[in-house]
């Protein structure tokens, strides 16, 4: 496809027209680390959200789900250091108060404020810190970068980007955190997407689901799912484009731009996985249907043994076949082709003799590509993950809650 959009240098969640942000050190985490932030639009937004499938949901998730029934929201307040999960009824009361405090700063109605939290489960929010901290926040047009830092927990780098459409000129920005998709208490996935495009609410919901399915839902660090996972998309319409709805001229460009932005953020998350030394991209071709392709790709990229072998630069392809074999997907051993980058390891289920040193070299890079063809159909999917190092264990066993 001809490019109809491009990434903006140093793009952030405040790149789209009318969005501003700010953050502060409220003292929820250790001293002098940004841990509380606000992202807000000066104009009302239509808004959509996707949330954790965990049966145990943090209070901010419950609050967001309630408020998004209206299809509108203009502001998000986020804290790191405390998940506000599993503390009983106090959680929802605190989340509601936090939204109210942020509404004063952003000068919006409290009902238009969404809330997100990430950090330790089972401890109440330190409300005194949040009350005092909130008053220190100043919103500015270039505050996106500060917001990105305030969301980090064990993240080692902020994750943010923005894309601009060539023709209509609308911008989509985004900020994410997470160093597993999916770590229940210190690496929740949070992602806030913003756009100045004018978008029909139903299409906004549809587009967000589509984009998440090819990006955040295809990332796996460790198979655990957080109680707090939240992806939000707010559109304020300030770009003045014709409203985008299903089938409209800009619908496809908007979807493609949103997909690529989300894939970019998802890959940033996988690359920054706890203890990760490299990004792994697994593509499954020739699957009977898309669901099978997705499941096979996710299973391979999630396998601890595949991840550990790639960490050790070991071209131990038997682990890859064994992982796809247990994925629940139809696999006919005698049809499977397997590649590491451009090196064929297995053809029609039989090992091919290959240059071991070359394979080790391909593994010893910052991005490793595994491509599999099941040769059973025409569906394909790509998943991203990271290798498994001793450091992952160290981080998750020594972390002081």
- Active site residues per annotation: 188
Closest distance between a second copy and the C-beta of residue 51, in Å? 13
Closest distance between a second copy and the C-beta of residue 339, in Å? 15
Q: Which among 387, 346, 384, 348 is positioned nearest to 364, based on CA atoms?
A: 387
Q: Which is nearer to a second copy, 31 or 55 (CB)?
A: 55
Q: Which is nearer to a second copy, 139 or 301 (CB)?
A: 301
Dihedral pair phi/psi, residue 210, rounded to 5° = -60, -45
Closest distance between a second copy and the C-beta of residue 350, in Å? 4
Q: Give the 3-state secondary structure of the chain.
A: CCCCEEECCCCCCCCCCCEEEEEECCCCCCCCCCCEEEEEECCCCEEEEEECCCCCCCHHHHHHHHHHHHCECCEEEEEEEECCCCCCCHHHHHHHHHHHHHHHHHCCCHHHEEEEEEEECCCCCCHHHHHHHHCCCCCECCCHHHHHHHCCCCCCCCEEEEEEECCCCCEEEEEEECCCCCCCCCCCCEEEEEECCCECHHHHHHHHHHHHHCCHHHEECCCCCCCCCEEEEEECCCCCCCCECCCCCCHHHHHHHHHHHHHHHHHHHHHCCCCCCCEEEEEEEEECCHHHHHHHHHHHHHCHHHHHHHHCCCCCCHHHHHHHHCCCCCCCHHHCEEEECCEEEEECCEECCCCHHHHHHHHCCCEEEEEEECCCCCEEEEEEEECCCHHHHHHHHHCCC
Q: Which is nearer to a second copy, 41 or 226 (CB)?
A: 226
Closest distance between a second copy and the C-beta of residue 97, in Å? 19
Closest distance between a second copy and the C-beta of residue 291, in Å? 16
Q: Which is nearer to a second copy, 47 or 345 (CB)?
A: 345
Q: Which is nearer to a second copy, 87 or 208 (CB)?
A: 87
Q: Which among 102, 34, 36, 53 is positioned nearest to 73, based on CA atoms?
A: 102
Which residues of the chain form contacts with a second copy (CB under 8 A)?
53-57, 83, 85-88, 120-123, 183-185, 222-227, 303-305, 308-309, 311-312, 314, 316-319, 321-326, 329-331, 333-334, 346, 349-351, 388-390, 392-394, 396-401
Q: Which is nearer to a second copy, 239 or 293 (CB)?
A: 293
Q: Which among 61, 111, 113 is positioned nearest to 85, based on CA atoms?
A: 61
Q: Which is nearer to a second copy, 87 or 171 (CB)?
A: 87
């Amino acid at each position: 496809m001809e490019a109809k959009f491009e990434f903006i240098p140093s793009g952030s969640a405040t790149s789209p027209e009318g969005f501003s942000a700010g953050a502060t050190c409220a003292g929820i985490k250790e001293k002098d680390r940004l841990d509380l932030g606000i992202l807000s639009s000066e104009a009302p937004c239509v808004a959509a959200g996707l949330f954790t499938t965990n049966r145990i949901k943090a209070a901010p998730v419950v609050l967001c789900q309630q408020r998004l029934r209206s299809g509108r929201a203009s502001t998000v307040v986020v804290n790191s250091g405390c998940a506000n999960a599993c503390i009983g009824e106090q959680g929802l009361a605190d989340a509601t108060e936090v939204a109210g405090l942020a509404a004063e700063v952003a000068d919006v109605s409290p009902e238009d404020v969404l809330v997100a939290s990430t950090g330790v489960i089972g401890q109440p929010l330190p409300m005194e810190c949040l009350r005092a901290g909130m008053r220190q926040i100043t919103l500015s047009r270039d505050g996106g970068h500060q917001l990105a830092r305030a969301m980090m927990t064990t993240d080692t780098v902020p994750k943010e980007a923005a894309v601009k459409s060539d023709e209509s000129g609308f911008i989509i920005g985004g900020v994410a955190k997470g160093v597993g998709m999916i770590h229940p208490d210190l690496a929740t996935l949070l992602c806030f997407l913003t756009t100045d495009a004018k978008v029909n609410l139903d299409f906004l919901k549809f587009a967000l689901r589509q984009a998440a399915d090819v990006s955040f839902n295809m990332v796996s660090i460790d198979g655990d799912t957080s109680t707090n996972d939240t992806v939000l998309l707010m559109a304020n319409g300030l770009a003045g484009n014709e409203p985008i709805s299903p089938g409209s001229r800009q619908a496809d460009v908007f979807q493609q731009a949103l997909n690529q932005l989300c894939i970019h953020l998802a890959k940033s998350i996988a690359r920054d996985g706890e203890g990760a030394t490299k990004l792994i991209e697994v593509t499954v071709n020739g699957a009977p249907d898309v669901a099978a392709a997705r499941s096979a790709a996710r299973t391979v990229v999630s396998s601890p043994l595949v991840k550990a072998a790639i960490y050790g630069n070991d071209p131990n392809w038997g682990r890859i076949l064994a992982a796809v074999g247990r994925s629940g997907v139809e696999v006919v051993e005698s049809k499977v082709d397997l590649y590491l980058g451009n090196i064929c390891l297995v053809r029609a289920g039989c090992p091919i003799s290959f240059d071991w040193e070359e394979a080790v070299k391909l593994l010893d890079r910052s991005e490793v590509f595994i491509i599999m063809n099941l040769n059973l159909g025409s569906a394909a999917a790509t998943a991203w993950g990271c290798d498994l190092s001793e450091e992952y264990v160290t981080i998750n066993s020594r972390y002081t809650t």
